[in-house]
Every structure is written in C-alpha cells, then in structure tokens.
Amino acid sequence: MRRICCAVFAAIAAAGCIWYSYASGGTASDPVVTESHINDIWLPELLDSVRSSVDKAFRKIDTDSEFSDVSKKITYEFSNAARIKNIADRVLGELQRKSERFMFRNPHLSGVDASFDDVYSGTAGTLMILNRGSAEIHAGSLVDITKGIEIKKPAKLSQNTAYLCPENGAEIRVSSDTAGFLIEGSYGKSSARHLPRNYDMAYALYEMGLVRGAAKGMELARANTRAESVTMLIRLLAEEDIALSREYSHPFKDIDAWAQKYIGYAYKMGYANGVALDRFDAGGATSANHYMTFILRALGYDDLKGDFKWDSAMDSAVKFGVITAEEKNYIMGGRFLRDHMIYLSYRSLNAKLARSNKTLLEKLVDSGAVNRKTAENAMSMVKR
C-alpha cells in the first residue's frame, strides 16, 4: 500500500508542477489573466495531465503481483474520476499551503460562481455585487456605494448591493455552499476551506474493511449528515452485514430509503436516537459531540444511565481516555468534517471498551471481523 501511495503521489507532484506554472501566469507589466483562460485552457490541461499520470501509476501497480489485489480493490471501489478529483484536490491543497493565489480581471461587470470558503480579494477600485448565496468580509473593508458607508470584518454582505474595494483592498469569504458575484476589475481567488490531513488514517481503515468511500472517493473535506455518520459507525464496528441482513423497525419519518436499515439497526442497538419522537434529522449536519456520542455508545458507555451527556461527549471522551485534550481542541477548532470523523474513528480503535481492558480493535480481531495481520500492516502506514 505504501508503494501505491508513492506512485500516486508522484502523479500529484507532476501535476502540481504543471499547475504551479499555470498559477504564475502574466508578466511584470500585466500580472493577471482572465478567468476564462484558466477555465477553458489551463484547467482542462491540468486534469488531462493528472488523468494521464494516475493511469500510468495504476497500470504500473497492476503489473506488480505483490500489490495487484490491493490495486484491483481500490480500482473497484473508487472510479477513475474519483481518483482524479482526489489527486487534483491534493495538488490544489499543496498550492494553498504555499499561499498561491490566482489573479483574474473582469473588464466589465461579469458573473463569477463561488463555493463555500472561497475567498475573493479585490484590488483598489474593484466593484463587487453578491447576487446569490451569502458572504462576509474576511479581511480589510468595503465601501457600500448605496449607503456611502464603510463596512469592516466580520460584516455580512447584502445581496444585490454594490461594494467598492478601497485603496488597501479587501477579502470576502463565501459562507454558503454556493454563491454568485458580479465583479468588475482585478481580483484574486484563494480558499479558506479545510485541507484534509488524515488520508493515511482513512486508507488504513479502508484496508481493514472498516470504511468505504463514496462515489467521489473519501470526500474528507466535506461534512457528513447524521445518516451518513451512523452508516460510518456501523462500518467501523464491522456490523454492516448484520445491519443489512433484515429490516429493523424505527419511529422516524425522515429517513431516505438507502439509510433505512442502517438507522433501524443503530436505533435497535442503542447507538443512535432521534431528535424528536418521529424525527431523526437524517440530513442534518453531524457535530463532534454527535459523532463522539455514537462512538461512546458503541464502546459500551450509556448516556441514559449517566455515563456521559451527549452535548459534552467530547469532554467525556477525554475523561475516558479515548482522545486527549489537545485532540479535542483540534477536532472542535472549526467546522466538523469527514476528515475529523476519520480521525475519531481511527483513534477509537485503541480505546478501551467501557468497564473492560480490551480495546475496540481487539474486540474486532477476536470476533473475526478484522484480520490481525491486515490491521498491523494498515496501521503501520499511520506515522502520527
């Protein structure tokens, strides 16, 4: 598996060099390029390069008998498009860590589509109008032309209001899943979105058969719904086959068809409860305390008997030795995403079961759900 990662990372590095040269477009006298040039020429070339590099890497791995089974398993579980997207995300993430910024120029008022945590920086005189979604000032200030006033961080932008960037410029952060701007002038685009750190843990869990990716891969940079979190927990406990073997009744009326058996099983086992008598809030976002509540219940702790409270489950996890105080602060330092759930899931494997000296991983190995040698090899990939 380590050799697979090295081959794929070589593809990342090659694509990263190409993208870096693209990000440096322009000259000293004209340091910006049009966004259409980025989208129509540079981006397709980047994706073609990544696609070619990934295909070559995986073809080489497929000829190595030592890794052929692992390669076929990964290829089966994750589509080529998913691998390309994940690698492209890693390339862009590395550039983001180096504070690379794309610069564009709209000579006329033109539409720009944006996503959550995108950051747009306008230079002096740039005109910006938010016409869809929500955004707030990330740094600096803006001049509200309509009211003739200056607004500063952390003020929220009003839709369909014209804002002018002052002499020192300004940065605007998108706070909705999607947004749209009308922009005239020169502006930069970067991102404040979370950069996943726990790919090694994700693939270690994957090798042990305790997590599965979605159609788009691991998707560590996005949040999980409550229904997805329950599904992840059941897979972590190696109880998915049991959960899918039959229908388990539950009182909830807001569960999609794909999640019925997972939620029913989790409800029967006491892993998860609803937010009301007939409502699970299946599509609602999962918080750190929500997910740790699921884990603590699976470890044998009972909040109904007073072992812990769901809204302070992370504090209880520190008390029970599941995680450290520093880890709790890291997890709760921002938006709770799949990256953080992978971290908590991995850490829970070495956590002691309630009123027992046996760990969750030992329980899984003893039950035959996880092969000991496979677990040892997979966990050796995680160096932290």
Same-domain status, 267 and 131:
no
pLDDT value at position 160? Answer: 95
Do 106 and 92 share a structural domain? Answer: no
Mean pLDDT, residues 177-185: 93
Do residues 163 and 140 make contact, with C-beta atoms less than 8 angstroms apart? no
205 and 330 within one domain: yes
Considering only 4-18, 152-166, 259-273, which range has the smallest mean pLDDT?
4-18
Q: Which of 164, 191, 218 is the last residue of a domain?
A: 191
325 and 362, same domain (yes or no): yes
Q: How many domains does the chain have?
A: 3
- Asked if 263 contacts 255 with a C-beta cutoff of 8 angstroms, the reply is yes
Q: Does 307 map to a domain?
A: yes
Give residue 27's domain range.
2-97
Q: Please report the pLDDT score of residue 79 as a whole number.
A: 55
- What residues contact residue 310 under an 8 Å CB cut-off, 6+ apart? 289, 290, 293, 303
Of 92, 82, 72, 74, which is closest to residue 12 (Cα–Cα)? Answer: 92
pLDDT of 55 over the 70 cut: no
In a domain, 332, yes or no: yes
pLDDT per position as a tens digit, 310-341: 999 999 999 999 999 999 999 998 889 999 99
Mean pLDDT of 262-284: 92
Residue 4 has a pLDDT of 45
Whether residue 24 is contained in a domain is answered as yes
Q: What is the mean pLDDT of residues 4-31?
A: 43
Query: Among residues 97, 131, 155, which one ends one of the domains?
Result: 97
Asked if 151 and 288 sit in the same domain, the reply is no
Most confident of 2-6, 33-37, 329-333, 340-344: 340-344
Residues 94, 133 contacting (CB under 8 angstroms): no
In a domain, 86, yes or no: yes
Residue-wise pLDDT tens digits, 142-167: 999 989 899 998 899 999 999 999 98
Based on the domain organization, do 75 and 108 belong to the same domain?
no
Q: Both 119 and 228 in a single domain?
A: no
Give the residue-averaged pLDDT of 170-174: 93
pLDDT at 68: 43
- In this predicted structure, the answer to whether residue 72 has a pLDDT above a threshold of 60 is no
Question: Which of 191, 218, 240 is a domain's end point?
Answer: 191
What pLDDT score was predicted for residue 35?
Answer: 55
